[in-house]
Amino acid sequence: MTLPTITRRAALAGMAGSMALPAIHSASAQGAPIKVGVLHSLTGTMAISETALRDTVLMMVEKQNAAGGIMGRRLEAVVVDPASNWPLFAEKARELLAVHKVDVTFGCWTSVSRKSVLPVFEELNGLLFYPVQYEGEEESRNIFYTGAAPNQQAIPAVEYLMGADGGEAKRIVLLGTDYVYPRTTNRILRGFLNSKGITDADIMEEYTPFGHSDWQGIVTRVKAFAAQGKKTAIVSTINGDANVPFYRELGNQGIKAEDIPCVAFSVGEEELAGIDTKPLVGHLAAWNYFMSVDAPANREFISDWHTFIRNPRRVTNDPMEATLVGFKMWAQAVAQARSTGVDAVRTAMIGQKVAAPCGFTLEMLPNHHLTKPVMIGEIQENGQFNIVWRTPAPVPAENWSRYIPENANRRR
């Protein structure tokens, strides 16, 4: 059964503010509905990435209700829009927990938004599922991290660039948006590169604000840096809609993948949907899932998404898959615990497994992070990725990096 037309239209229109969505299925509901908070930016610079994650949660709520809910109780989504405003994330998190009294929340994209809400979830003992790759250096009893840690994305990607298949890069350009995720990730990568014999003189590092649009000067400097006799590659931690003018400028200045390959950690199918990809063919992205994965669970995911969104051209991407995996694990944990209580669900979450669209069975570890495969994909003309490399099995997350000196004596 589908959402009432007016509700689905409102849900997919990216409305600001908050709205409690009605039950989608009335299957023998007993007791109050289970409230699912959705904390994603529907406006502002991060809406290009986060709106699809809101829609993914709504799809999962609809599907769970169509299957009878959980413990005979229907699920009810409560959506708020923190509008790419980092302090507002904390306010909206408090609204979800203290006013709407949600049982679980799925949300955040940037690390600055996650760090904004973390004290609120810990103070009020809420439960947040965070679905995006991040810099690590964090562990909270109130957060489950379903995106990649650095050893599940950033480090393998740079290793690929330095190997024969990736062009044996000897100079690395680190371009990032100016906030905690790019700066910490690049600190880890600099330590890793130094350990492999690449000196600071062969590392260029620059940061730009959210929504940055004038890339001509930076791309010109990248070309000059790459013209000094060593194979050069770009590692991009640029986030949000700044990726559109960045990739456009790469094309404008004729930077081709065979000359200066660029690997991105925050550009997937959704971001490429608004870009002319022809000049970008061969540039790379590192994720744990691509829409092009050939697996039964992925075909089901794509089919469910197209049915829900009513648009066969809409793409899936890695953070959407991480949202789906987190939702399924949470639903399994609630059913196992026979409770939506945070303490009971938290205990039941450890060891949960899901046969994921990436083609592997993923497991939740005691450090609240997942095992995940690592994949490198090349951009194709149609906006999809051709997977050119992947790990043979899921990799356990290391959320405390060995390349951060302060972690030398920390147990991982």
Output the pLDDT for position 181: 95
- Phi-psi category of 168—alpha, beta or left, where left has phi over 0 and alpha has psi -120 to 50? left
Q: Residue 24 has what pLDDT?
A: 30
161 and 279 assigned to the same domain:
yes
Structure confidence at residue 2 (pLDDT): 32
pLDDT at 15: 37
Among 26-40, 62-76, 347-361, 390-404, name the one with the lowest average pLDDT: 26-40
Predicted local distance difference test score (pLDDT) of residue 412: 53
CA distance 139 to 333: 20
Q: Which of 88, 71, 99 is closest to 331 using CA atoms?
A: 71
User: Do 99 and 189 reside in the same domain of the chain?
Assistant: no
Record the tokens describing residue 44, joined without a space. Answer: 């502002």
Tens-place pLDDT, residues 279-335? 889 999 999 999 999 999 999 999 999 999 999 999 999 999 999 999 999 999 999
> Given a cut of 50, is residue 6 above it in pLDDT?
no
Measured between alpha carbons, how far is 367 from 399 in angstroms, rounded to an integer? 8
Mean pLDDT of 383-398: 97
Confirm whether 246 is domain-assigned: yes
- Of 93, 126, 159, at which residue does a domain stop? 126
User: How many Cβ atoms sit within 10 Å of the Cβ of residue 334?
Assistant: 23
pLDDT of residue 35: 98
236 by DSSP, 3-state: which? strand
Judge if 166 and 98 occupy the same domain: no
Task: Answer whether residue 354 is part of any domain.
Answer: no
* Residue 197: other Cβ atoms inside 10 A: 9
How many domains is the chain built from? Answer: 2
Q: Does residue 260 carry a pLDDT above 80?
A: yes
On whether residue 348 sits in a domain, the answer given is: no
pLDDT tens digit string along 190-245?
999 999 999 999 999 999 999 999 999 999 999 999 999 899 999 999 998 899 89
**Res 230: pLDDT:** 95
CB-based burial, 46-85: b 16+ in 10 Å, e otherwise: bbbbbbbbbbbbbbbbbbbbeeebbeebbbbbbbbbbbbb
Between these two residues, 315 and 266, which has the higher pLDDT value? Answer: 315
Identify whether residues 188 and 78 lie together within a single domain.
Answer: no
* Judgement on whether residues 166 and 267 belong to the same structural domain of the protein: yes
The helix or strand, by DSSP H or E, that contains position 41, with its residue range, turns out to be none
Query: Which residue, chain included where needed, has tokens 């604000």?
Result: 209
Residues 6+ positions from 224 with CB-CB distance below 8 Å: none
Sign for the pseudo-dihedral over CA of 161, 166, 169, 173? negative
Amino acid identity, residue 210? F
Instruction: Point out the domain boundary residue: 126, 160, 183.
Output: 126
DSSP string computed for 114-143: HHHHHHHHHHTT--EEE-S--------TTE
DSSP string of 355-409, one letter each residue: E-TTSSEEEB-TTSBBEE--EEEEE-TTS-EEEEEE-SS-EE---S-TTSGGGTT
Rounded Cα distance between 181 and 161, Å, is 21
The verdict on 24 and 72 lying in the same domain is yes
Q: How far, in whole angstroms, is CA 331 from its chain's centroid? A: 20
Q: What is the pLDDT of residue 30?
A: 63
Are 113 and 159 found together in one domain? Answer: no
pLDDT score at 409: 83
Cα separation, 378 vs 396, whole angstroms: 24
Query: Are residue 50 and residue 161 in the same domain, yes or no?
Result: no
Cα–Cα distance between 107 and 49 in angstroms, integer? 12
Mean local confidence (pLDDT), 1-26? 37
Quick check: 13 pLDDT over 50?
Answer: no
Residue 136: inside a domain, yes or no?
A: no
Query: In whole angstroms, what is the distance from residue 287 CA to residue 299 CA?
Result: 18
Say if 353 falls within a structural domain. Answer: no
Q: Is the pLDDT of residue 9 over 90?
A: no
Residue 347 lies in a domain: no
CA 201 from chain centre, in angstroms, equals: 31
- Would the pLDDT of 144 be above 80? yes
Last residue of one domain, picked from the residues 126, 142, 164: 126
Residue type, 230: K
Q: Are 88 and 220 found together in one domain? A: no
Asked if residue 241 and residue 104 are part of one domain, the reply reads no
40 domain residue, yes or no: yes
- Other beta carbons within 10 Å of 10: 15
Give residue 94's Cα distance to chain centre.
23
What CATH number does the domain containing 175 carry? 3.40.50.2300
Same domain for 87 and 206? no
CA distance 395 to 133: 14
Mean pLDDT value of segment 125-146 = 98
Predicted local confidence at residue 223, as pLDDT: 96
Range of the domain at 80: 5-126
Average pLDDT, the chain: 92
Contact 147, 138 (CB under 8 A): no
Instruction: Please say if the pLDDT value at position 351 is more than 50.
Output: yes
Q: Are residues 206 and 108 in the same domain?
A: no
Q: Report yes or no: 288 and 258 within 8 Å, Cβ to Cβ.
A: no
Does 362 map to a domain?
no
